[in-house]
Every structure is written in structure tokens, then in C-alpha cells.
A and B are shown apart, each in its own frame.
Chain A
Amino acid sequence: MLSQFDYVKPLVLDEALDALSHHDDTYILAGGTDLLIMLRHHLIDAKHIVDIKGVSELSVFNFVEGEGLEIGANVVVNTLVDSELVKTKYGALHDAAACLATYQLRNRATLVGNICNASPGADLPPAMLIYDATVKIASKEGVRTVPLKEFFTGVKKTQLTKGELVVSVFLPDPGNNDKSVYLRQTRLKGHDLSTVGVACRIDGEGKAAIGINAVAITPLRLNALEDALNAKGITEESVLWASEEIKNHIKPITDVRASKEYRLHMAGVLLKRCFAKIM
């Protein structure tokens, strides 16, 4: 039995922001695949639930050529899996979405929920970090946009403050001749978070970008490693070098899923495999 709470389902963003601003113990409900588990285990004491699924502004899923793709807070993960545009333009995001949890869970789980839950092992963030994704945040005070890279502040922690709501995530148009892939190592397909997950991209100008999860307190974009790799030029030799060098750029821990040593090793292996797919 879940504890008692009020439930409101606003139809416009302003109403949702109003509802959020009143009480501290207010939680946002979109897909609910994380929230309901927390409620079930009484990990949070929610007195007020704001169901945002009625707010059409939060359901935007729109690509503008030359600008990019906006993914609203209500967009479920299977929408990304089924989108030809995501598959063509943002390959790594398609890969990450397709391996997230199970089919029926992806019918509810949202991309924005995945970032707001801020698990270090979440699948979607590395695939968005490599595209310099930004997060649009609204509150009664107004709207602000922050880079996804700065959105995560710790394990299950984000920049969001009281009364704020993520409206959407924006991925700039990568143009043509851009390739990316996401690969993850996991104990059980679907039923587990990644042990290590790596997203790699080579853009139209031949520059590499690397995102990774489950090796630090937040998902990471490995800018320093990218710079070094790009300086060398992307070749089989330089990728082999990067697959060793990556160990100096991450700080994994030993936990139930894997040892620190295994994660360090697999980060390099996955990096190699990723580049082999897009070179």
C-alpha cells in the first residue's frame, strides 16, 4: 500500500509550476517507473503528486533541420526506439533507448525521467552528452537552459531546485556524415543497469566525442580524452591508445555489478568496439 497523497493533473505548464511551488513534499509523475518504486518502498514521503501527462507543452517531439531535436518531458523511451529520425541522426541514442529495461517499461519510462533520476549507470545520458545536449528547466521564476553535462551533480542528484521542472532536452542537429553508437556491458539484458556503457561519436568533421556511464558519480563526457585522441587523428592505433588511456580519465568503484578493475578494463574494450563500428 502506498502512503496517502494528493493527486493533481494540470493541463497547462503554468498550472503544473503552480502546483510544484506550494509544498516541499511534491513529486512529479510522468512515466512513474522510478517514482512508483520509491513510493512502494517508502523511500520518499510524497504528500502531493503532480501528474504532468496532461500538459501538451511537455509532449513535444520535434526536429528542425539545421537546429535540432527537442524531446519533451512526456516523451516515452519507445518513441525514441521507433523514431527513424533518431535512428538516422542520433544512432547512439537509438541504441541506448533500445537497450533500456523492457518493452513494456519503455512504454511508460521517459527520457527526461531517466536524466532526472540521475543514476550514474543510466543508459541515455552518455548518448546525449556526446551531442552537447541541453536541458530546458522551467519554474515560476522563468526558464533557464543548462548543458546536460552540468545538470548532473552527484549520485541521484541534479541541478534542479524546489519548484523546477524539466520541460525538455534539446539535441543540436549533427548534420550529415555524423555517426555514433552506444554499447554497454550488463549482467542481464534489460533487467539491470549497465556495468559500463560507452557512447562514441565521429562528427562530420571527423572529430570524436566520448560519453560513459557507471564509472563515476555522474555520467561523464570525456573531453580531455577526446582532445588527445582528436590531436592524434582517429586511426586504429590512436583508438587502441585511447582504450588504454581511458583508464586515467574515469574513477569506477567496486559494487554489486562489477569490480573496479573489470569496469576499467571494459571501458577500454567498449571504446574499441564503439569506434570499430563507426570508423
Chain B
Amino acid sequence: MSHTDDNKACAMHTAHVREAHARRVLLEMTVNGECIVEEVDPNMLLLHFLRDTLKLFGAKEACGEGECGACTIILNGKTVNSCLVLAIEAQGGDILTVEGLSKDGELSILQQEFIKEDALQCGFCTPGMLMSARSLLDRHPDPTDEEIKEGMGGNLCRCTGYQQIFDAIKRAAKREREELNRS
């Protein structure tokens, strides 16, 4: 992995890749606040780039067809199924994965509440759940049940059940609002 010295977001979108003739192209993007420069094949999925190249194993591959949400990440502020995005489409982009939620070794409020509420069992869906929940709380700091249902509808869980996930999101929303009021 060839990171730049600067540990901040990429300063500019260099080398707007206009053409890539079935050969490796230089990809530059910000991942969890870190500037990443890597060579990729045009046919590499963003999900595989994150997992196989960057060794960020949070986003999971399950259905591979945008149905289950296990591969959900945030690209340029919007949740996407990274199994349905080419790595090269994220050229110059800003990516947040589950690995970027914690700060200074401390889990985020959302992650803490998922643990407290037992909102996971096997944990396979959890990184995707957390990213959808993050995006949901950014849009709706005090979400209604209907908004949670709609916002989390693209993430399937096959073991925990959804009630604990609902509870964790509501508790996290409350704590985040309290924290915001304090600051």
C-alpha cells in the first residue's frame, strides 16, 4: 500500500482517469481520512479493492447483487453497495468504512450501543448495518420507527433479529443528541 506522507484527505483529484485500456490504472481516493494511491484493474469491484488490496475486511461480500447490504460503505457522503461499484468509479472519492467509525481506539457511540443492546450475533451483517445506521443518523438525528425501517431496509440480518438493532440505533441517536447539546 502506498500512502502519502500526509495523513489527511487527498488534496486534489489528480489524474482524472479518462481512459483505461484493460490495464492497471492509478487510483487516488481518501479512505477513512487517509489518502490512498493504488494501481487497479478497471474490472475490480470497489468491495474487492477495499478487502483484497487495502485489507479492510469490514465490508463483507454476501449476495454480491445489492440485495443484502453487507458490503455497505459511505462513498462521498452516501451509502452504496460496494459490490455494485467499480473501484475506478470511486476515483477522487471520499470513502468511509466501518474501520473509520472509531476514533483514537475508542468505538463510536453507535458501535457501543450495538454491543450494549446485543444488536449482533454472528456479526457478518454488522459493518453494513453500522454504515447504514451512520448515514441514517446523519440524515435523521432523531429517527422515527418508520425512518429506521426505511433507512435500514437494505441491510439483512439472518440471526439477531431486528428489534435489538432498532433499539441500538434509538439509544445511539439519543446519546449522540445529548453529546451534541453538551458541546
Residues of A within 8 A of B (CB): 1-11, 29, 32-33, 36-37, 39-40, 49, 51, 53-54, 78, 101-105, 107-108, 189-191
Contacts and interface: CB of A to CB of B under 8 A. Distances in A.
B37 interface: no
A190 B153 contact: yes
Contact of A104 (B19, B69, B88): B69
Interface stretch (B38-46, B96-104, B158-166): B38-46
A51 B80 CA distance: 17
B89 A53 contact: yes
B19 A6 contact: yes
Given A32-B84, A37-B84, A49-B42, A107 B79 contact: yes
A6 B65 contact: no
Nearest to A40: B64
Contacts of B20: 6-8
Contacts, number: 100
B134 to A, nearest CB: 12
Contact of B86 (A10, A11, A33, A36): A36
Nearest to B83: A36
B69 A108 contact: no
B22 A103 contact: no
Interface in B61-111: 64-67, 69, 72, 78-81, 83-86, 88-89, 91
Nearest to A39: B43
Contact of B18 (A8, A33, A36): A8
A104 B42 contact: no
Return the 6 tightest CB-CB contacts between A and B, nearest first.
A102-B154, A7-B42, A104-B79, A2-B43, A107-B78, A7-B20
12 contacts: A3-B43, A4-B22, A7-B20, A7-B42, A32-B85, A37-B66, A40-B64, A102-B67, A103-B79, A103-B150, A107-B78, A108-B81
For chain B, the bracket of interface size reads 35 or more
B58 interface: no
Interface of B: 16-22, 25, 41-45, 64-67, 69, 72, 78-81, 83-86, 88-89, 91, 132, 135, 150-151, 153-154
Contacts of A4: 22, 41-43
B84 A102 contact: no
B69 A102 contact: yes
A236 B22 CA distance: 61
Contacts of A2: 43-45
A252 to B, nearest CB: 25
Given A36-B86, A107-B78, A191 B18 contact: no
A1 B49 CA distance: 12
Given A37-B65, A49-B42, A103 B154 contact: yes
A105 B81 contact: yes
A45 to B, nearest CB: 13
B18 A10 contact: yes
A247 to B, nearest CB: 32
Contacts of A39: 43
Contacts of A3: 43
